[in-house]
């Protein structure tokens, strides 16, 4: 089973993901965690380029999209598809929906074009379940700063951008309710973790059978 975590910057995905992995392992599942962009040797090299705001200020938006997609294409074929076919649970911090939310809804790239590119890059492989950590843009940005998080090139956009990203996520979740579950991320880490576990338990037997 392939599960992706989505949400705005500062929504807490990266703290929640290892806790989910530990829980699922304790319940008897094989679990593999990964993140985007990155997750493979080639993908991590691409990540360095695409998130390097200091040196790569001249990056064209189409270049940026194709780099995200290159990293993803590699991750799908090297990691996600083979593990999913073996029955491993893959927990992925961001996936194709991030491109729709950030480049599409956020930056205004045509959504149909993006969707076609994503189908190509992923070989039509999409998550079985997508958990959306929903948070208003202002809280997300404040959290990034107070946690001492480094601002990268992609963070350095204004709040209006992040509001569009959020709206995009909520719209995608509403359009495909069988895949998405939305969690209120404006709660304590423990509360969010509990809600995530409850969401996963609607799709998987807990503990694992056999
Ligand atoms: P990262 O440092 O991983 O941030 P986070 O911890 O919030 O996930 O940087 C990922 C950044 O890249 C984040 O701002 C979202 C952005 N992004 C896109 O714009 N498009 C994409 O397709 C992906 C995967 C990420």
Of 5, 7, 9, which is best to mutate to test ligand 1, by the most ligand atoms within 8 angstroms of its C-beta?
9
User: In this prediction, what percent of the chain has a pLDDT beyond 90?
Assistant: 85
User: Is the per-residue pLDDT at 154 higher than 70?
Assistant: no
Which atom of ligand 1 has the smallest separation from the CA of 93?
Answer: 8
User: For 44-88, how does the pLDDT look when each residue is reduced to its tens digit (9 = 90+)?
Assistant: 999 999 999 789 999 999 999 999 999 999 999 999 999 999 999
Helix boundaries (H) for 93-188: 96-99, 111-122, 137-146, 159-175
Give the closest residue (by CA) to ligand 1 atom 20. Answer: 99
The mean pLDDT value for 164-176 works out to 97
The mean pLDDT value for 140-146 works out to 77
Of 154, 162, 168, 169, which is best to mutate to test ligand 1, by the most ligand atoms within 8 angstroms of its C-beta?
154
Mean pLDDT of the chain: 93
Q: What topology does CATH give the domain 2-34+80-201?
A: Rossmann fold (3.40.50)
Which atom of ligand 1 has the smallest separation from the CA of 10?
Answer: 7
Q: Virtual CA dihedral for 10, 15, 16, 18, nearest 10 degrees?
A: 150
């Amino acid at each position: 089973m392939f599960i992706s975590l989505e949400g705005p910057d500062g929504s807490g995905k990266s703290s929640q993901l290892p806790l989910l992995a530990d829980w699922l392992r304790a319940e008897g599942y094989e679990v593999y965690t990964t993140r985007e962009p990155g997750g493979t040797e080639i993908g991590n090299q691409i990540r360095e380029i695409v998130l390097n705001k200091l040196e790569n200020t001249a990056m064209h938006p189409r270049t940026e999209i194709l780099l995200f997609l290159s990293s993803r294409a590699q991750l799908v074929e090297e990691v996600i598809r083979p593990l999913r076919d073996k029955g491993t649970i893959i927990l992925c911090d961001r996936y194709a929906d991030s491109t729709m939310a950030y480049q599409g809804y956020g930056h205004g790239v045509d959504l149909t074009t993006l969707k076609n590119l994503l189908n190509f890059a992923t070989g039509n492989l999409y998550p079985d379940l997508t958990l959306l950590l929903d948070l208003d843009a202002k809280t997300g940005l404040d959290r990034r700063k107070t946690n001492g998080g480094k601002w990268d090139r992609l963070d350095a956009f204004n709040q209006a951008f992040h509001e569009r990203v959020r709206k995009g996520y909520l719209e995608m979740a509403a359009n495909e309710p069988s895949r998405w579950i939305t969690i209120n991320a404006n709660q304590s880490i423990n509360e969010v973790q509990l809600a995530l576990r409850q969401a996963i338990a609607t799709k998987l037997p807990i503990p694992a059978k056999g």
